[in-house]
Chain A
Amino acid sequence: AQSVSQHNHHVILSEAASLELGCNYSYGGTVNLFWYVQYPGQHLQLLLKYFSGDPLVKGIKGFEAEFIKSKFSFNLRKPSVQWSDTAEYFCAVNARSNYQLIWGAGTKLIIKP
């Protein structure tokens, strides 16, 4: 069965630190990959997505993610975090053959001012 694993449930960083959140999935076929973010008190919103092409994708607010097919990974990165990046981040995957999203458990990111 397909699954998505996010390596850390909680991450605490200071402002200006670099961020990398891990995401690995299990599925042998062609996939679409997503990172969603949920800021405190707000709804889930799309941060970035990968469908095809350049495996390094850039999203909103300075985030980027790299799809490494050989490692079944889609890690999220940001070179310098801000206090406003405090949120919960979800990785999600769906097989190209359908639109059923499989979700990771989420990573709660806290940025200390």
Chain B
Amino acid sequence: EAGVAQSPRYKIIEKRQSVAFWCNPISGHATLYWYQQILGQGPKLLIQFQNNGVVDDSQLPKDRFSAERLKGVDSTLKIQPAKLEDSAVYLCASRASGTGANVLTFGAGSRLTVL
């Protein structure tokens, strides 16, 4: 099966600019996650979708970050305006439904550098 697709792989912007990342999960996976991974740290959950609904966005800095999954398939994460501390890898992951499907599959990530 095809994996989780993410783009762009790399993005360099200046602070106060905006950026958007795209994710296409594994076909049929109802749950989609966006994580932020800062160098030297483990992934931090930003937002979790179940189909097109938000399950958890408690750690999403909503003053500058937004995410959507309008049709319950692919998703976009936006940062506007970006700050220096947003430099990180943004990981998308997906998971199938059901109690036996407890494993996340990750995309390659989008590395953001804010100058």
Residues of A at under 8 Å CB distance from B? 4, 9, 32, 34, 36, 42-46, 49, 51, 90, 92, 94, 99-101, 103-106
Contact = CB atoms under 8 A, between A and B. Distances in A.
Interface of B: 3-4, 31, 40-45, 48, 56, 91, 93, 95, 102-104, 106-109
- Shortest 3 CB-CB distances between A and B: which pairs? A103-B42, A44-B106, A43-B108
Contacts, number: 46
Given A90-B42, A101-B43, 14 more contacts: A4-B42, A32-B102, A36-B106, A43-B106, A45-B106, A49-B103, A51-B102, A92-B42, A99-B95, A99-B102, A105-B40, A105-B42, A106-B41, A106-B42
A90 B37 CA distance: 12
Nearest to B91: A44
Contact of B104 (A101, A105, A106): A101
